[in-house]
Amino acid sequence: EVQLVESGGGLVQPGGSLRLSCASSGLNFDDYGIGWIRRAPKKDPEAVSYIRLSDDHTWYIDAVKGRFTIFSDNAKNTVYLQMNSLKPEDLATYYCAALEEGQGTWDSIARYKYWGRGTQVTVSS
**Mean pLDDT split into 10-residue runs, the chain, 125 residues:** 97 98 93 97 96 95 98 94 98 98 94 98 96
d(CA 104, CA 94): 20
pLDDT of the residue at 29: 85
Exposure on the CB side of residue 30, measured as CA atoms within 13 A: 0
Task: Tell me how far CA of residue 24 lies from CA of 14, 42, 44, 77, in angstroms.
Answer: 29, 29, 25, 6
